Each structure stands twice: as structure tokens, then as C-alpha cells.
A and B are shown apart, each in its own frame.
Chain A
Amino acid sequence: MNRTLILGGMLTGLFVLGAVLSFFWTPGDVQAMNIAGRLKPPSADHFLGTDHFGRDILSMIMVGARTSIAVALVAVGIGMGLGVPLGLAAAAWRGGWLDEIISRMNDLIFAFPSLVIAILITAVFGAGAINAIIAIGIFNIPVFARLTRGAALSYWSREFILAARVAGKGRARISVEHILPNVTNLLIVQGTIQFSLGILAEAGLSYVGLGAQPPIPSWGRMLADAQTMVALAPHVAIIPGLAIVLMVLGLNLLGDGLRDHLDPRLRVIRT
């Protein structure tokens, strides 16, 4: 265990805990408006102050964490669920039609500005958490496919794979039995990184109004709402941003720590 791993785990754990806790209890009511007590700076009553409707910001952050985590987690799930099998298959039948199609698609999706396409998707099919998940998830597929394919290929040239083939095992079986267990560490580390990118992407989409819609609280929209009040009450803009930074930082540290812990030579994709 290294310090990076512990710090990252603690930061991430803090937000997950807050999100889980928010299902049962929050310091204030995130629905109740209190115009008289609006834009109050942090105090004993409201630990992180109140927003422009007088809602408790800490409560908003806690409930907002649910949205962020859910969107990013499902998006990573989509990316892994589809990307990993595709990458394994592309490596197993290297140079085949599947490999060709997957590489082409990868190149293409990488050429598209991801956020622009996310905007296109949410624009066409309507703004909302589900479409945000799909839009972010789609861009996780090629990341995992490319990562898995590359790592798998480096194993396919190893002699233990040749030995498995001499033992009569088919490519699909070898992929599951021999390749997948060997790329798991890499997938865990990349998954953590994609999780953090998902949090950022969700915040960005919510900020421009294409993410989760009211009344579901989200960090990105808290920032959008705060924008006009920056001069008046800076804490309204600073606190949700800090929440994003700390959560993403925590996940990135967790990813780095896991990599150092599992295998420092792991090669992840960072963009």
C-alpha cells in the first residue's frame, strides 16, 4: 500500500460515502427554497453556505455526487462491457475483418471531438441523465477496446499463449482463460481514470444544460446557476467546483496508486 493509493482511496471514499448517506439523511432539504436565507456564506447552520434559492450547499453536493457517480460509473460499465470483448476479439483475430472494422471505428471515434458528439446526441435525443450516460459511454468503448487490444496483442506473442494453442485451445477460450486475467489490472487502473473523466464530462454537459435535468441536483448545473452570482457570492461558484476537483483528484490518485501497487509498468491511455 502506498500513500497515493491511501489518499486517493480516502478522497474517493469520502464522496461515495456522502452520496450513499444522502439517500437517508442530508443536513438540509435540497427541495426547500428559502429566499430570505439565500447566498449565505458558510456558517454553523449551513456548513458550506446556501445557494441562490437558499438551499444548503453541502446537501446539494451530497445529492449531486449521486448523479456524478451514477453517470460516470454506468458510462465506464458501457465502455468496459463493450470495449473489452471487442478489444480481445480484435487481438485474437488480428488482421481479420473484425480487427479492421474495430481499428477503423476507433480511429473515427477518436477523430470526433467527443464533447461535440455528446452535444449532438443530447441535442438530438433530448437532454437528460440517460442520454449523457450514453454519450459518455460511447466514448469509453474505443478507449477500452484499444487498450485491451494493445495489451492482449503483447500477450499473444508470448510463448505461453503458443503453448495453450498447442494444447488445442481455441482463440476465444485462450482470450478468456489466459489473456483476460492478465489484462485485469490494466483495466482496473484505466477504469478509474475513465471514471474520473466521466465525472468531468458529466459536469461539463450539465453545465451547458445537457446533463441531468432539474430537479435532480448536479454539480455542473450548480456551477451554471452560480455563474451570474460569482461577484456577489463567490462561494456558490467555488464550492461545487472544488467538489469536482477533489473527486477527480481522488480518483486519479487512486488510479495511480493502484497502478503502482499492482504493476508500475502498466500502460494506460491518457487523453
Chain B
Amino acid sequence: MTQAPALLEISNLSVEIRGKHILRDVSLSIGAGEIVALTGESGSGKSMTAFATMGLLPQIASARGGIALSGEPLLGQSEKRLCEIRGEQIGMIFQEPMTALNPVQTIGRQVTETIRIHTAMPQNKAEQRAAEVLTRVGLPPDAVPLGRYPHELSGGQRQRVVIAMAIALRPALLIADEPTTALDVTTQAQILDLLQKLVREDGMALMMITHDLAVVSDMADRIAVMNNGEIVEQGPTRTLFSEMRHPYTRALFEASTHKADLAEVDTDETLLSVHGVSRDYPVRRTGLFTPKRMFRAVKSVSFDINRGERVGLVGESGCGKSTLTRAILGLEPVQEGTITLDGQPVFSQGHPDLSVRRKIQVVFQDPYGSFNPRHRVERLITEPFYLLDSPPNGAERERAVAEALEAVGLNATDADKYIHAFSGGQRQRIAIARALIIKPEIIVFDEAVSALDVRVRAQILDLMAQLSRDYGLTYLFISHDLSVVRSITDRVLVMQAGEIVEQGETEQIFENPAHPYTQSLIAAAPQMPNYDPTSKGDRDASSNPN
């Protein structure tokens, strides 16, 4: 299915950096008004394709092949001409709205700059135009004046400013590089709606880069799946999802919809009890003589976790879930209420109780920051032995290390390696081994799979399910990602602004959310399409088998 003269035509694009192939024979075309998604795991080359199109490849990169916009070649084009094209004919949106704006310039000035650099419009006219564009992206000047600085806006608002800068001159092509990855799910939904609206209104072409198949499944006209610098499969969204010719596409899809196989548990013995817990933080003083004020990050939270239960805690950033986690781990005192584990308080008389602490362990989000780079795996995973009165020695210790490593699917011989020898997924396995080694009663998984690619994520979720089966492990799974929580928990707690607004059986909550906040969260979460990947379906006759 070839659309007559496409707006953007990428043909056989290859990029090398220091002899390493980053892109290989990438061919892709995007027509006016079309939304094409470029998806794949990290390092697949999707962002590099975008930067090649913008002519913003790193200077050490060398590119071959062709990129043409409305017939005009971009690759090998003079820098002067590329500057004219960027911002006027191609706009770009980035992943990190917090750092994408110049912190020392007002948003009005930054939007105006796009206009002034490409047109001869006088300052006041350009400002007026900037105000119109900002209104269009949902930041009317009477609510958000042009004189605001980026630090005065929320992440979602900043992303809107970036969008305004990109679309100010109604470019023919808009490139969005993971535009919602750094945003909360409700903000993500709003930004995606905005992008679709702008594309439809202006007849813009949109190149949407994302790792999240669910995000693009109901928005893209066509999808290209990338792996290792190559496009392994591309086609209209519906066809692609129903056919999935390439095994990689199928693997991605399956991993994205992966549901771990949780064994049935049936207990009513309370293990962790959180009762009326509140947690206050001092707010930065506004003046030298103003009294200290406190911010209540967690407000009278109560819940129980039974032995063997797998409980999820969901909420958007800043809802207080990290603060609550630290209180449960006994790292910080609470101002009100009690947290008990197996009947004993986790924090008593101003000191964390080690005998209680050894019953709870944690796995963190960042596989790269979770380990001291200067220690060997053996030393890393035995750190919790510090909690024991008589930690195992010699052969007994070696046996414990080997056992923990094998339990998470690694080899006992890995104990002598340093952490940099392991991939992100392996590191999370080591983190789980570290948590398991003292056989805790409960493990807290704090966004433990959020930094992983989908296929690795699915493996780690399987591992968790298996540990729960083999050891009767109890866990609290904290995440912002609703679909993952749904796949790995029996019960779920929904947290908003420091409060648990709803809790209940996972399926019950997802099928029938009672609280409006839960409803909005679930409505905003992108859904994977319900195409049956195994059915062969009616093959699109026009698609080329090669």
C-alpha cells in the first residue's frame, strides 16, 4: 500500500557511529495527515531515526541512504537550509518536559523565538501569535501568562509549551519522541488527545516514537516495529496487530499483555498492618521569620496485608506512595498511627527494630543505581545479613549466596562478578536475590519493573509469580503502571494525594472502579487492542509478503 508522493520519505537509511551500526536500511514514509508510530525497545534505533530526520545526529555519526521532505533531500543538506526547515517545516517534541525548556527564559519568549527566527514578524505580532498558539495547546494567557518561567509550570504544562514551540508555524511534519513517557497517566491521556487534535486540525503528519504499544494502538494509522536498528515489520495498525508476521512483533505484543501466572492463596493471617499512618514533611521556609510549616504527604492511611497475599499500590507521582514505602520499611518515623509487621512495630523508640526489619526487604526501580559499583555480587547480595544476630559464615554463607542466585535464575558462579557485567534485567534479578537471601516475610517491590523493557519486564513478573508459588512470598507491589499491577496482584490499593481512596480485589477494582479517581485512572490508561494474535484473520491482500 503506497501512498502517492509521501510527505516524508526515508529510504534505506543507515547510520553508523564509530563503526557501530545504529540504523540499517530503514525505509519509512509518512503522508500528510498521517500518524505513523515507530516502536521498539530501548536501543532499537527509533530515536536515532527521528534525529536523522531532523538533521540533528551526533557529529560523529555518519549516515547513508535518503531522507526527503516534500521531495527535498534532507540528508547531506546544508546546515543553513536545515536550520530553515527545522521549526518551520518539521517540529519536534521530546521526552523530558522538565529539562526541554530553557530555565532562565519565559515561556512566552521561547515560543516567540520559533516564530521570530523563521519569519520577519515584528516582536508584538509574534507575541500575539505565541499567545494564540499557547491558547491552542491549552495554556491561555489569562490562566498561564507568557511571562511565566518553566519552573513555575507542571510537567504536563511544560510539555504543552514544548508542543506550542513545535507547532507555532504549523509545520508539515511533527516528530514526537516519547512525548508522554515522563508524564502521569492522566496527563498522558490529555497530551495524546491534544496531539491528535492538532494533527487532525492542521493536516500535519506525525511521527510518534514510543516504547508503549498500548499508547499508539488506538492512535496511529500505521506502525513500524524496530529492533536492533532495523524496521522488522510495518503496516496499518489493524493489519499489524491482527497478523504480526514477525516473531519480534509477536514477542513484543505478548510481553506487553503478559499476565503472570499467580497461584491461588488463601490466608487470613495478618502480616503487615498499617493503621492510621500520617507522615509530615517540613516545607521550605518562605521567609526568614515565617514559622516552619509542615506538608502532610501521607494522610491517615490504613490497610492490612495477609501472609501470602500479593498487594498492589497504585498512584501518580507525588501521591505519597514513596513516602509510605519508606515508613513501612522503617526508614523514617511516622507522625501518627502505627505500622506493625507480624505484630511488632517496625519503628520503636526512635530506632528501627532490626529484628522486625529482617522480615521485610525491598527491590527498587533503578537497576543501575541499586548497587554499589565497587562491590562484588557476593558482597552486594549478602548485605542484609547485617540484620541477623549470627550471620552465616564460610560454606554456609556460600550456600546461601548460591541458593539465592539460583532462585532468581542466575548461576552461583555469578557471585564473583562485579555489577557492571550484568544487564538491566539481570540486575533486577540480583536485587531480588538480595531481598530473598535472609528469607523475609514480605518484599516491597518499589516500581521494580518500571525501568525495564517489556520483554524483560514479563520475565521478571514471571519470576515474582514463581517465587510466590515456591516460597509463599508475600509482596507489596508499588507502581504507577495499572496494567502491570493488574497482572501481578490479588488486591490493589489506590492512592491519591496522600490518601488511600479505594482498595479491593484487583479484578473487582479494574472491572468496577467505585471512586471517581480510580475511574479516571483506568479510563486514562492506554489499552492494548483486543486483536487475537493467534488467529490468522483475513490477510491484507495488498501487503507485500516480502
* B374 and A181 contact, CB distance less than 8 A: yes
A169–B361 contact, CB under 8 A? no
| A45 lies within 8 A of chain B by Cβ | no
Q: B370 and A165: CB pair below 8 A?
A: no
Interface residues of B (CB under 8 A from A): 329, 331, 352, 354, 357-358, 360-362, 364-366, 369-374, 383-387, 431, 434
User: Closest residue to B385 on the A side, CB-wise?
Assistant: A167
Task: Please determine whether B370 and A168 come into contact, CB atoms closer than 8 angstroms.
Answer: no
B383 partner, pick from A158, A159, A164, A182, beta carbons under 8 A:
A164
Chain B CB within 10 A, most for which of A160, A169, A182: A160
Nearest to B332 among chain A residues (CB) is: A165
Asked if A162 is at the interface (CB within 8 A of a chain B CB), the reply is yes
Q: Are B361 and A166 in contact (CB under 8 A)?
A: yes
Q: Residue of A at shortest CB range from B384?
A: A167
Structural contact, A166 and B362, CB atoms closer than 8 A: yes
| Inter-chain contacts of A169 with B (CB < 8 A) | 383, 386
Chain A nearest CB, measured from B380 CB (Å): 8
Is A178 located at the chain interface by the 8 A CB criterion?
Answer: yes
Residues of A in contact with B (beta carbons under 8 Å apart): 158-160, 162-169, 178, 181-182
In the complex, the answer to whether A168 meets B361 with C-beta atoms within 8 Å is: no
8 contacts between A and B (CB under 8 A): A159-B366, A160-B371, A163-B370, A164-B372, A166-B357, A166-B362, A167-B386, A169-B386
List the A residue with the shortest CB-CB distance to B353. Answer: A168
Given A159-B364, A159-B365, A166 contacting B331 (CB threshold 8 A): yes
A178: B residues at CB distance < 8 A: 372
Which label, helix, strand, loop or mixed, suits the secondary structure of the A interface?
Answer: helix
In Å, the complex CA distance between A25 and B354 comes to 63
Q: Which B residues touch A167, using CB under 8 A? A: 383-387
Taking a contact as CB atoms under 8 Å apart, the answer to whether A158 and B369 are in contact is yes
Chain B residues, Cβ within 8 Å of A159: 364-366, 369-370
Q: Which residue of the partner chain, among A164, A166, A182, contacts B374 with CB atoms under 8 Å?
A: A182
**Residues in A neighbouring B362, C-beta threshold 8 A:** 162-163, 166
A159 to B352: give the CA distance in the assembly, Å: 19
Residues on the B chain within 8 Å of A181, using CB:
372, 374
Which of chain A's residues has its CB closest to B371's CB?
A160
Known: A163-B370, A163-B434. A168 touches B331 (CB 8 A): no
**Which A-chain residue is minimally distant from B370 (CB atoms)?**
A159
- Contact B331 A165, beta carbon cutoff 8 Å: yes
Which residues of the partner chain A approach B358 to less than 8 Å between Cβ atoms? 168
Which of A158, A169, A178 has the most B CB atoms < 10 Å from its CB?
A: A158
- How far does the alpha carbon of A16 sit from the alpha carbon of B362 in the complex, in Å? 51
Given A163-B383, A166-B384, 19 more A-B residue pairs with CB atoms under 8 Å apart are A159-B365, A159-B366, A159-B369, A160-B369, A160-B370, A160-B371, A162-B331, A163-B370, A164-B372, A166-B329, A166-B331, A166-B357, A166-B360, A167-B384, A167-B385, A167-B387, A168-B386, A168-B387, A182-B373
Q: Are B354 and A168 in contact (CB under 8 A)?
A: yes
Q: Which residues of A contact B364 (CB under 8 A)?
A: 159, 162-163
CA A99 – CA B360 in complex, angstroms? Answer: 31
Instruction: Tell me which of A165, A166, A169, A178 has the highest count of chain B C-beta atoms within 10 A of its own C-beta.
Output: A166
Cα(A181)–Cα(B369), bound, Å:
16
Residue of A nearest to B387 (CB): A168
Known contacts: A167-B383, A168-B387. The answer to whether A160 contacts B372 by CB under 8 A is: yes
| Closest A residue by C-beta to B331 | A165
Nearest neighbor of A158 in chain B, beta-carbon distance: B369
| Alpha-carbon distance A114/B472, docked complex (angstroms) | 64
In the assembled complex, the Cα of A148 lies from the Cα of B362 at a distance in Å of 28
Instruction: Please measure, in the bound complex, the distance between the C-alpha atom of A169 and the C-alpha atom of B354, giving whole angstroms.
Output: 10
Instruction: Across the interface, name the chain A residue whose C-beta is closest to B379.
Output: A177
How far is B386's CA from A79's CA once the two chains are assembled, in angstroms? 33
List A contacts of B352 (CB < 8 A).
Answer: 168
Within the complex, the shortest CB–CB distance from A241 to chain B, in Å, comes to 41
C-alpha gap A178/B383 in the complex (Å)? 11
Give min CB distance, A171 to chain B, whole Å.
11
A23 to B383, CA, bound (A): 50
Taking CB atoms, residues of chain B closer than 8 Å to A162 are: 331, 362, 364
B391 → chain A, closest Cβ, in Å?
Answer: 11
> Which A-chain residue is minimally distant from B326 (CB atoms)?
A162
Q: In the bound complex, what is the Cα–Cα distance between A162 and B325 (angstroms)? A: 12
Residue on A with the closest CB to B431? A163
Inter-chain contacts of A163 with B (CB < 8 A): 362, 364, 370-371, 383, 431, 434
> Cβ of A182: which chain B residues have Cβ within 8 Å of it?
372-374
B360 proximity list for chain A (CB < 8 A): 166
User: Smallest distance from the beta carbon of B47 to chain A beta carbons, Å?
Assistant: 22
Chain A residues lying within 8 Å of B386, measured Cβ to Cβ, are 167-169
B345 → chain A closest CB, angstroms: 15
**Closest CB-CB distance, B170 to chain A, in whole Å?**
41
